[in-house]
Amino acid sequence: MSRYRKYDGGDPLAPPVDIAEALDAIGQDVMAGYSPERAMREFLRRGGDDQAGLDDLARRVAERRRDLLQRHNLDGTMNEVRELLEKAVLEERKQLARDALMDDGDRAFREMRLESLPDSPAAAVTELNDYDWQSREAREAFEQIKDLLGRELLDQRFAGMKQALENATDEDRQAINEMLSDLNELLEKHARGEDTPEDFQEFMAKHGQHFPEDPQDIDELLDTLAQRSAAAQRMLNSMTPEQRAELMQLSAQAFGSPALMEQLDRLDQNLMALRPGEDWGGSEQFGDGDQGLGLGDGTGVLQDLADLDALADQLSQSYGGARLDDVDLDKLARQLGNEAAVDARKLQELEKALRESGAMERGFDGELRLTPKAMRQLGKALLRDVAEKMSGRQGQRDLRQAGAAGDLSGATRPWEFGDTEPWDLPRTMLNGVLRRAGDAGGPLLSIDDVEVAETEARTQAAVALCVDTSFSMAMDGRWVPMKQTALALHTLIGSRFRGDSLELIGFGRHAQTMRIEELTALDARWAKGTNLHHALLLANRHFRKHPNAQPVLLIVTDGEPTSHLESSGEVYFSYPPHPMTVALAVRELDNARRIGAHTTFFRLGEDPGLARFIESMARRVDGSVVAPEAGDLGAAVVGSYLGSRRGGRPGDGGGPGSYGDWFGSRGFWVG
């Protein structure tokens, strides 16, 4: 049997949630030093280009709360009582003036009594409780005060009672008294642990029309009543002492007797005992708005404020184990509309998709981290940005060269077993057509028809990317571009030049080899020191491990070497740089040249002293110097690597005829 639920908004034909934008933003924040968990939380807070975030929803909740407090005041019921009282007194005076048969002394006494009424509406109502009204209209207006107070007091505890009991008869009021008595007996029995499910069912069968929420058991009934009753208490706490005293005095006049107030007091006590966790002692600071709140409406506003407070807490996600599934979509729709609930549901779906996409996983330490799959996706996005910057063809379609083992030579040859070169489709199809024409039939293609595109031989490379991780890189905003550069180069080599071997080396006070996951998750290091000597030692060790590969040395730095590794393994630091520190770095650079390394320095910053030092180091080893802006570092490093792979000058990564231009003319694809 099919089951249906209420449509909850949104586009039923909308595509599944797209996490690409979220993963890109999360990756950027992770490289800036955020944990993946925090980075995901930050994206959900900010939202995306076409997606409202938690901060926007929280702002709207705060604005709604502020509007409720500023737009209303708590004098609604008192104002209604005052108007009815003024009407009753005015009608009575008119009747006294018209009544010629009345004894002059009696008339004078009545007029004096009306003239001497207290200013307080509550005291005036009490004073007139035993007054013998001569005017029918005046008597009806005064009785409306008692009726209004009864309906308002009931509306505080049972939403909708004010309207339901308008023009109620004595029988209706008796039914309400009976319901309150039965309800209190049920709650007291429940408090003693003596009630049964049948007791609840019997009560609902008799009085269920007064509970539109349709509770399914006594606990649901208790929750509904306690929330409303606690809101009524908070409204009372929000009043001034004068307002509270007036209301208490008037309450005794509800329905013309104190019986109703006694039953409601008994109900409040039962609910406080059974649900002590509700906010019974809170209050709100209402403004002087022009919309006065009656007791029932005011209690509803207090409930709305409680809902808004709960939503603000849920949207903050600041408590342990917080999940977006905690956000109550029904409350959000009730307070901000269906559109807000749709936005929140999309965020819930996005969080779930991120956790289930395989992009993040928990390590043995319990910390959330990006998976290799997520790192590949982020690397591809960065590599596309690099390709656009190098080719100057932003927005144009990427071209594919899948399967090429090297650069195409333009020639073709018959396919042989083991070939990995791409098929030459025009030649292959032509061979099939010619064979079929000669044989007068046969299959469309046979293996003998296939020709492959010849490619030039490609030399393997051993690449050492040495990136400065000293405190100045983080201080001057170069930390994230450095990580993006490393990830882009790692992705390029892993996807297009799998025969090459890449070593990532970070050097600050000392140097160390790193996996790409370690480097991208590396927090900023504030220890002073730029140990180029140690980095070059590790780079040369990498080159010696691959004696048949072309060495490519890429050095990204924003400072002169200020530390070196001593024979004891200890790090020596000195600023300004010690001559021994410079000499040891130069010695290892010479060793890299003797190995045959193509060397490129990427100088960040405009320090003239650094520029002179780097230029002299590059000239010594016939290397190159590139001085990119931080945002162009990735394109510069990738271009230099590609230039070295083609046998061009080290660092040839941009300008007409360079390898950077090859990106635009030959196309680029990351598969």
Q: How far is Cα 260 from Cα 9, in angstroms, rounded to an integer? A: 43
Domains assigned to the chain = 20-71+306-370 (no CATH), 75-285 (no CATH), 408-455 (no CATH), 461-666 (3.40.50.410)
Please provide the DSSP assignment of 456-479 as one string.
Answer: -----EEEEEEEE-SHHHHHTT-H
Q: Which residues, listed in sequence order, are joined to residue 423 by a DSSP beta bridge? A: 452
Range in 281-290, 295-304, 437-446, 654-663 the model is least confident about: 654-663
Quick: pLDDT tens for 20-58. Answer: 777 777 777 776 667 677 777 888 888 887 788 888 998
pLDDT-based confidence at residue 511 (cuts at 50, 70, 90): very high
Quick: pLDDT tens for 108-161. Answer: 888 888 888 888 888 888 888 888 899 999 999 988 888 888 888 888 888 877
Q: How many CB atoms lie within 10 A of CB 132?
A: 7
Q: Which residues, listed in sequence order, are joined to residue 501 by a DSSP beta bridge? A: 462
Q: Which of 339, 304, 305, 344 is nearest to 323 (CA)?
A: 344
Percent of the chain with pLDDT over 90: 19
Q: How far is Cα 213 from Cα 208, in angstroms, rounded to an integer? A: 9
Quick: pLDDT tens for 376-421. Answer: 776 676 667 666 666 554 433 333 344 344 556 677 888 876 666 7
Quick: pLDDT tens for 63-115. Answer: 998 888 888 887 888 888 889 999 999 998 998 888 866 777 788 888 888 88
The answer for residues whose C-beta is within 8 angstroms of residue 499's C-beta and 6 or more apart is: 458, 460
Percent of the chain with pLDDT over 70: 83
> Going along 207-285, which residue ranges are E strands?
none
Range in 219-233, 343-357, 586-600, 642-656 the model is least confident about: 642-656
- Contact predicate 308/231, CB 8 Å: no
- Contact predicate 523/541, CB 8 Å: no
- Contact predicate 529/574, CB 8 Å: no
Q: Which residues, listed in sequence order, are joined to residue 291 by a DSSP beta bridge? A: 72
DSSP 51: B
- Contact predicate 536/587, CB 8 Å: no
User: Is residue 32 classed exposed, middle or buried when 0-12, 13-18 and 19+ CB atoms within 10 A define those classes?
Assistant: middle
The answer for residues whose C-beta is within 8 angstroms of residue 179's C-beta and 6 or more apart is: 206, 207, 210
